[in-house]
Amino acid sequence: MSGHNRPRDTILFIHGLGRTRRAMWPLALRARAKGYRVGTWGYASRAASIEVHANALKEKLVYECEKNREGQIHIVTHSLGGRVVRNLFERHAADQFPSLGRVVMIAPPHAGSEVIDYGIAYGLFRMVFGPVVHELGTTAAYPKLPDGAPDVGVIAGTRSQWSLSLLFTRVNDGKVAVESAKIIGMRDFVAVPFTHTGILWKKQVADLVLSFIEQGTFTPP
């Protein structure tokens, strides 16, 4: 996979739980200003399981790879979007997506969230967030990227201004602990002082995203 931005490279942005495509616009607009083609993929995050969303993403990604043969397709996710992409790689070999480049996951709950642990006991919580909540509780084991997965970089937030952060005993962004964002096999990792939602609006984060896409690392050259 090439580590350099080519004129025809595309970045596909994928939002998190309860969000829409609009949540990814701040990052997408910054990427477009740097010369990338950009796209956003929307899905009914509260209506189905992670596996169902991953199947839909597979069709989208196959289509994008067939349409964009002149450049690579990179992926940038937020929160649940990272779990959807992880499920995609767990169930489908990356060689099915010949134009696939690098992947940046922002605040992904790979090892779940303490907020879900607390709230899942309440019927209203399950009704609001849908069946996917049953897949987002915390686990003691770090998940692992499957062999053959593309280069993945993870960005985690460390600042919480949300009352439910009191549920955490670890550094967190208000919804996901920094340690829960990690995944075995990731190529690089960085923590930044932003909240789970506010992280999407920060220029520093956009710069980190593009650094990883272009260099395969969050460290500036």
- The pLDDT of residue 49 is above 90: yes
Q: What is the pTM of this model?
A: 0.92
Please report the pLDDT score of residue 107 as a whole number: 98
Question: pLDDT of 164-177, one tens digit each?
Answer: 667 777 899 989 99
Please report the pLDDT score of residue 164 as a whole number: 62
Quick check: helix, strand or coil at residue 120? coil
- The pLDDT of residue 159 is above 60: yes
Confidence of residue 123 (pLDDT cuts 50, 70, 90): low
**Sign of torsion, CA 109 115 118 119?**
negative
Question: pLDDT of 4-33, one tens digit each?
Answer: 445 579 999 999 999 999 999 999 999 999
Read off the tokens for 145: 């990227």
Q: Which residues contact 210 (CB under 8 A, 6 or more apart)?
A: 5, 30, 31, 34
Q: Which of 82, 106, 108 is nearest to 26 (CA)?
A: 106
CATH dotted code for 10-142+149-213: 3.40.50.1820
Read off the tokens for 42: 């929307």
Q: Tell me the pLDDT of the chain averaged across its residues.
A: 90
Q: Which of 86, 30, 24, 22 is nearest to 57 (CA)?
A: 86
Q: Which of 210, 175, 180 is nearest to 194 (CA)?
A: 175
Question: pLDDT of 191-212, one tens digit each?
Answer: 999 999 999 999 999 999 999 9
Contact yes or no for 134/116 (Cβ under 8 A): no
Task: For 45-111, give the DSSP string.
Answer: TTSS-HHHHHHHHHHHHHHHHHH--SS-EEEEEETHHHHHHHHHHHHS-GGGSTTEEEEEEES--TT
Please report the pLDDT score of residue 2 as a whole number: 42
Percent above pLDDT 90 for the chain: 69
Confidence of residue 3 (pLDDT cuts 50, 70, 90): very low
Please report the pLDDT score of residue 42 as a whole number: 95
